[in-house]
Structure 1
Amino acid sequence: MTDPRPLPRRSLRTRLALFYAAGIYVAGIVVLAVVTVPLAGIQSTVPARSQAPGAITGTGEGIGPHQLLVGSAVALALLIPIALAAGWFVAGRFLRPLRAVTATAKAISAGNLHQRLDLGEPADELTELGSVLDDLFARLEASFDAQRHFVANASHELRTPLAGLRTLLEVTLADPDADAGTLRSACQEALALGAHQERLVQALLALATGEGGVARRDTLDLAHVVRGVLASRRGRATERGIDLAERLTPAVTAGDPGLIESLIANLVDNAIRHNHPGGHVEIATQTSGTRATLTVTNSGPAIPDDQIQRLVQPFQRLAPDRNGRRDGYGLGLAIVHAVARAHHAPLTISARPEGGLAVTVRFVRPPLEVPLVTDGFRHGHTAFTRPKNS
């Protein structure tokens, strides 16, 4: 039977101190051997009845083996505590930055995310590790802040329609004179609020799916996906008086077909939604070097350059229209940013001087040509199912 008691644990400083002490002790033995072995063969010389102090007229017997043995044993015995003390000191000096890293990491894990190591000089492997950990802590702090901000905004967005639905039902039930027409109208408004919540939940799901990464990779043509998206958006664009123009050339890439279609759909919807009557939207695909490029350009209100990065954050909307309404949920470009990052595709968003945005996504071209995903089927494999737009 095995002993259930755990073995005693020695600290890293103790192990390093023993290692350094052993090295120092071995080095002492080598030095002692190098010095004493030649001394054993040296014959001592003594003056014999001479008036001159430097005259040497006779020889003695030299250093005997017994004297060498006793001297070496005493030297080795004295070297043991010296080696242990030196090893303990050197190990402590080398482990001092590591103790600082441990203490700071414990403080940060307790919730103090803004604290950093800042090991400073000298520049060595431990300070390099500290710099890497400082960068990691900074990203974790930004991630936690973004998560708290996202949860707060999502709670607010979901609470508003729920509160409206509850108020509608309470007012309707409290009306003693409510007839069938009133109840039907209340049910229609409740259905509209429910549809609003459903679209918001779908957008949140699309955002979470994009941030979760790519689950599958198929080879597809961006031009083909764009044509399918535009076919379902032309009616909405016509109602708003917006012209949809396309310049589509083959642009083959590899990625998750559902996520890429969600990216394109959100770009087109965003360009139609944040536009003005009589405006235009232009979608282009092309191949440039090792990249398959998608560009969506639209007219619309002028956007300051310093507000561009804010638009890719969740729940960030453009200014309300003349009626004070805010169309959309502020998740369109956030979904685009998440999907592009999952595919390692650089995303460029720039404000046009005449108003509107120009958005470019550069996907990586696949190294090998394989069958493309088409509408519904691919040779030998079932293709993706188009999700509802987020």
Structure 2
Amino acid sequence: MSRLHRTLRPLHTIRVRLALTTSAWLFAISGLILLGLYLALQHSIDARPLDPVTVGKFVQKSDGTLKYKTGETFQAADLESVQQAVNQSTLDLLRNYSLIALAVISLISLLVGWFVAGRMLRPIDAITSTANRLRATDLSQRINASGPDDELRNLADTLDNLLDRLDTAFRAERALVADVSHELRNPVAVIQANVEAVLADERATPAERADALAIVSRQTARMSRLLDDLLATARRRSGSFADERVDVHDFVNDIVGDHQLLARERSLELTGHCSPGPMVYADPESLARALTNLLSNALRLAPEGSTITVAAGSVGGWAWIAVRDEGPGIAEADQQRVFERFRRVDTPDSPTAHRGSGLGLTIARQIVESHEGRLYLYSVLSVGSTFVIWLPDRADAARGVRSGRPPDEDPLGARGGSPNRSSST
């Protein structure tokens, strides 16, 4: 049975079905046309078989009289009967030629249908061949369909665009795995070295053990921050958001209150200035993660005794949340790079004991953009940095006052230069 199925399998292809369907329809249409012509002629002309009469044969004598020749006869018919017989012969000839024409049309239509179907389905063959050549480690193959701009060409172009996005996504995933492996390798190596050289050594002094424990604690904290950021990235990509109305005033005040203790530990003044009224639709946990990442960077980089300002408000239908520090600032050439994964911009004044995972700003940007927002950076070296989250203010949505993109100005006051956008608008 399986052998028979393999034998008949070529007959089940789309090309065969298209050719047979085209031929069958053309045969049916041609047959109906010829049948209509035949019936129309049959009803418009008087046609019937010849019905001759047997007549005896006569000869003329010399005196002019006719003499019947015994035993000799011939067939005779009047002129009307002959005309009817001619019409009948013509109808019979038309019928026979029509049947032959139908047979020829069926054969020609089958061949033409096979050729046309092959031409039409050529992009599908290219799609199949490309799909067969694809591998998980190589998504560089493309269909690159040519020909008329029809539905199959659009399908091929759509699949090429899909492959481009998949290739970009897979490259990003491989880069992320490589970056994470690189980031985890160093703290693991430091922990292993301290455990083997100090903590596992019975002759190590208490001071050496204390130093080793402090180093291990810092490295484990660093790995913990990295894993938290990776979990946040995975959650964002899974689309597991639960959007709800968020009062920006209360939301920002809660985040500022949660970080007051950390600010006092570093002798920093953390102040909040929030205007009541702005309302956004967002996943509170994800949005809190984005704002916490910005605030954590400010707490880590700001010099002792300086002020960190967290403010919120609304401009032109856009709600904004700004985090300003008086840290070392970021050079204009490096401002876009800080939003890339595992990119760290080290400055002479930045403390190296509290380095981040390199994912904080990346995750903040991704969360903001997933909520139809934008993340802008304003920074001047030796002055400080201001990160501004812009989100659609749903409180102004009914009035239709929101512009197509957020304002370019720093809502806390310009520090010079134009904003560095984390993404194009």
CA separation in 2, counterparts of 1:356 and 1:119? 49
The reply to whether residue 347 of structure 1 matches residue 349 of structure 2 is: no
CA separation in 1, counterparts of 2:322 and 2:375? 9
CA separation of 1:357 and 1:117: change in aligned 2, threshold 3 A: farther
CA separation in 2, counterparts of 1:277 and 1:107? 59
Aligned to 1:160: 186
Aligned to 1:258: 285
Specify which of 320, 330, 336 is matched with residue 293 of structure 1: 320
Specify which of 114, 117, 128 is matched with residue 91 of structure 1: 117
Aligned to 1:337: 365
Aligned to 2:20: 18
CA separation in 2, counterparts of 1:126 and 1:280? 61
Question: How far has the Cα of 1:31 moved from its partner?
Answer: 3.3
CA separation in 2, counterparts of 1:216 and 1:107? 40
SS at match of 1:356: strand
Larger C-alpha radius of gyration, 1 or 2? Answer: 2
Question: How far has the Cα of 1:98 moved from its partner?
Answer: 1.6
> Residues 225-264 of structure 1 correspond to what in structure 2 (within 5 A)?
225-237=251-263, 239=266, 241=268, 244-264=271-291
CA separation in 2, counterparts of 1:73 and 1:185? 103
Specify which of 140, 156, 164 is matched with residue 130 of structure 1: 156
CA separation in 2, counterparts of 1:232 and 1:27? 81
Specify which of 358, 361, 365 is matched with residue 390 of structure 2: 361
Question: How far has the Cα of 1:236 moved from its partner?
Answer: 4.1
Query: What's the CA shift string for 1:270-291, capped at 9, x where partnerless?
Result: 2343445676544332345665
CA separation in 2, counterparts of 1:36 and 1:62? 12
Aligned to 2:298: 271
Aligned to 1:48: none
Query: What is the percent sequence identity of the aligned residues?
Result: 29
Question: How far has the Cα of 1:131 moved from its partner?
Answer: 2.0
CA separation of 1:289 and 1:29: change in aligned 2, threshold 3 A: farther
SS at match of 2:121: helix
Equivalent pair of 1:118/1:131 in contact (CA under 8 Å) = yes
CA separation in 2, counterparts of 1:219 and 1:116? 44
TM-score if structure 2 supplies the norm length?
A: 0.71
Q: Which stretch shows the higher mean deviation, 217-226 or 111-120?
A: 111-120
CA separation of 1:196 and 1:111: change in aligned 2, threshold 3 A: closer
CA separation in 1, counterparts of 2:243 and 2:37? 72
Equivalent pair of 2:277/2:395 in contact (CA under 8 Å) = no
Aligned to 2:242: 216
CA separation of 1:255 and 1:366: change in aligned 2, threshold 3 A: farther
CA separation in 1, counterparts of 2:110 and 2:122? 18
Equivalent pair of 2:301/2:351 in contact (CA under 8 Å) = no
Query: What's the CA shift string for 1:39-68, capped at 9, x where partnerless?
Result: 444589xxxxxxxxxxxx997322434333
Q: Which stretch shows the higher mean deviation, 18-27 or 86-95?
A: 18-27
CA separation in 2, counterparts of 1:291 and 1:153? 35
Q: May I ask how many residue pairs the two structures share in their alignment?
A: 353
- The AA in structure 1 aligned to 2:115 is F
CA separation of 1:181 and 1:279: change in aligned 2, threshold 3 A: closer
Aligned to 1:375: none
Query: What's the CA shift string for 1:205-264, capped at 9, x where partnerless?
Result: 222222322332332212211111112334444536566452333322233221111111
CA separation in 1, counterparts of 2:131 and 2:162? 11
Equivalent pair of 1:250/1:285 in contact (CA under 8 Å) = no
CA separation in 2, counterparts of 1:174 and 1:72? 102
SS at match of 1:285: strand
Aligned to 2:87: 62
In structure 1, runs of 5+ residues without a counterpart are 45-56, 370-390
Equivalent pair of 2:243/2:283 in contact (CA under 8 Å) = yes
CA separation in 2, counterparts of 1:288 and 1:25? 71
TM-score if structure 1 supplies the norm length?
A: 0.77
Q: Which stretch shows the higher mean deviation, 29-38 or 319-328?
A: 319-328
SS at match of 1:216: coil
Aligned to 2:337: 310
- The AA in structure 1 aligned to 2:15 is R
Equivalent pair of 1:345/1:364 in contact (CA under 8 Å) = no
- The AA in structure 1 aligned to 2:366 is A
SS at match of 2:342: coil
Query: What's the CA shift string for 1:295-350, capped at 9, x where partnerless?
Result: 334454554556444333321212343578382111111111232243x3221324
In structure 2, runs of 5+ residues without a counterpart are 48-78, 399-425
Aligned to 1:379: none
The reply to whether residue 107 of structure 1 matches residue 116 of structure 2 is: no
